[in-house]
């Protein structure tokens, strides 16, 4: 840059930054429309009448907005009950998952104990066997424990850690400087305190991610509840959604109305939770700045 004359407006840093951000915004906008097409299709189908859905070619906008689809779909089965059941399972599972996985991950990331590496390899290896070959023996195990037709097979594992999340959180914690832990140890803090007071706040974005993933997973889980629950009053929303898929005919208008309804809480949750993302830690700036 020439230092004698003031830079022209298009040469300023601010201008270039603005151009870049505008470009990114446009890119994101274009991508958004692609991403949103499916959602639009779901919503539009959920508002159509069965006769309109059967039409060819399919219409982009519903002729008439049948909001009654939502009410009717909800009333075809005890969906309120099922929604509460799902909420319970997802919430309890999420709390368990966040606490336990971060505890275990802390152990693997920041405590030097004998056999750590070997045990960690075992953690990873549990991810490698496809679920359905262990499904039957696991079912038999839960059955022998008398847990069939209770929520225990769905909740207890959440409190015993999952390889995926342990691995994930370990990766995040490895990124946190060891001096922090060592300084705290010198101050006489125990690992539990360090975990709670230092590690949890510093890995907030990661914990939020784990929370979102777990909640989402539990919310969308079909096979778990289906295998272990025999009582319809204890069913979940995902099983409920299956009632619209007939052997002869699928009730698309209801299926889509309920799918949208089931989706909504998860989206809202994500929307509101993500602010903790940004608010969350800025590890390096805090420690190195």
SS3 content of the chain, % helix, strand, coil (to 5): 75, 0, 25
CB of 5 to other proteins, least distance (A): 19
Please identify which residue in 15, 19, 63, 178 interacts with other proteins, judged by CB under 8 A.
178
Please identify which residue in 12, 68, 71, 279 interacts with other proteins, judged by CB under 8 A.
279
Answer yes or no whether residue 277 interacts with other proteins by CB under 8 A. yes
Q: Using CA atoms, how far apart are residues 238 and 171, in angstroms rounded to an integer?
A: 32
The answer to whether 219 touches 91, Cβ cutoff 8 Å, is: no
Please identify which residue in 64, 130, 187, 188 interacts with other proteins, judged by CB under 8 A.
130
Answer yes or no whether residue 127 interacts with other proteins by CB under 8 A. yes
Stretch that binds other proteins, among 3-11, 60-68, 130-138 (CB under 8 A): 130-138
Answer yes or no whether residue 184 interacts with other proteins by CB under 8 A. no
Stretch that binds other proteins, among 2-10, 63-71, 269-277 (CB under 8 A): 269-277
Judging by beta carbons within 10 Å of its beta carbon (0-12, 13-18, 19+), is residue 24 exposed, middle or buried? exposed
Q: Using CA atoms, how far apart are residues 156 and 145, in angstroms rounded to an integer?
A: 12
Answer yes or no whether residue 84 interacts with other proteins by CB under 8 A. yes
Answer yes or no whether residue 266 interacts with other proteins by CB under 8 A. yes
CB of 56 to other proteins, least distance (A): 4
Angle between the 204-220 and 252-273 helix axes, to the nearest 10 degrees? 170
Q: Using CA atoms, how far apart are residues 172 and 158, in angstroms rounded to an integer?
A: 20
């Amino acid at each position: 840059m020439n230092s004698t004359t003031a830079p022209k407006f298009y040469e300023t840093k601010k201008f270039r930054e603005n151009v870049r951000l505008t470009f990114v915004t446009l890119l994101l906008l274009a991508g958004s429309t692609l991403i949103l097409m499916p959602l639009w299709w779901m919503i539009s189908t959920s508002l159509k009448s069965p006769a309109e859905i059967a039409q060819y070619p399919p219409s982009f906008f519903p002729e008439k907005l049948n909001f009654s689809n939502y009410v009717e779909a909800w009333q075809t089965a005890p969906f309120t009950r099922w929604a509460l059941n799902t909420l319970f399972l997802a919430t309890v599972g999420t709390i368990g998952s966040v606490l336990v996985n971060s505890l275990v991950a802390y152990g693997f990331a920041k405590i030097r104990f004998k056999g750590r590496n070997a045990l960690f390899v075992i953690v990873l290896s549990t991810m490698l066997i496809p679920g359905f070959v262990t499904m039957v023996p696991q079912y038999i195990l839960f059955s022998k424990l008398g847990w069939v037709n209770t929520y225990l097979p769905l909740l207890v594992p959440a409190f015993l850690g999952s390889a995926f999340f342990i691995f994930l959180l370990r990766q995040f914690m490895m990124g946190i400087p060891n001096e922090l832990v060592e300084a705290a140890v010198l101050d006489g803090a125990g690992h539990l305190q360090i975990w709670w007071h230092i590690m949890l706040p510093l890995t907030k974005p990661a914990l939020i991610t784990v929370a979102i993933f777990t909640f989402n997973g539990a919310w969308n889980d079909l096979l778990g509840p289906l295998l272990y629950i025999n009582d319809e009053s204890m069913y979940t929303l995902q099983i409920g959604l299956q009632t619209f898929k007939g052997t002869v005919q699928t009730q698309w208008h209801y299926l889509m109305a309920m799918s949208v309804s089931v989706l909504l809480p998860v989206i809202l949750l994500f929307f509101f939770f993500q602010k903790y993302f940004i608010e969350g830690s800025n590890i390096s700036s805090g420690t190195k700045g």
